[in-house]
A = this chain, B = another copy of it.
């Protein structure tokens, strides 16, 4: 069996939701690209998310891992820049736990930057007509937890792996009262698939997610 190049993860519904667009979208991408992509659904549980992720990494041996999660209230697809070493939940996870200001990895670094091509991915999504934006915070719930865990695994055990995280909006059916933004599962899946393309492109800027420069008018 040949390993897929890309592992995508999505989360189970949480906080009373009936669906989680992150899982529905990554499943759709994996079904459309079966040779390159595998998708795994991860329970929204602090205690097990990172070990579930590592099990999937060991099982599928991907080159790239992109974890995906739902961000309440965001109108765009937002690849995340940085994961921070703290769990600070304002609601319970699916195991009934609500950690407050607990390090994810005691003694670990305060943060990790993604090593995926962040801005190239956003530019490609926008070129396809999708609302997209770099985000500077993945929050402090299970999403940030698995993102930090992924980057810590890369830093300590899987040095060749590249990894990152995308936060996505609600699906339209999750905001039927019309009071918040949403994006269709198809569009979310399209955005995730575009980030996969960007990561797999020959010459993709993989080691360094940013291309430092200074614009000056002086």
Q: Which residues of A contact B (CB under 8 A)?
A: 74-78, 81-82, 84, 86, 88, 92, 95-103, 109-113, 119, 126, 129-133, 136-137, 139-140, 171-173, 175-184, 186-187, 209-218
Contact = CB atoms under 8 A, between A and B. Distances in A.
Contacts of A76: 175, 177-179
A99 B113 CA distance: 18
Q: Which of A81, A180, A214, A218 has the most CB of B within 10 A?
A: A214
A178 B75 contact: yes
Contacts of A99: 212-215
Given A92-B217, A101-B212, 15 more contacts: A77-B178, A86-B210, A97-B216, A98-B215, A99-B214, A100-B210, A102-B213, A109-B110, A129-B173, A131-B175, A131-B177, A131-B182, A133-B179, A184-B184, A184-B187
Task: Count this chain's copies in the assembly.
Answer: 4
B75 A132 contact: no
Contacts of A211: 100-101
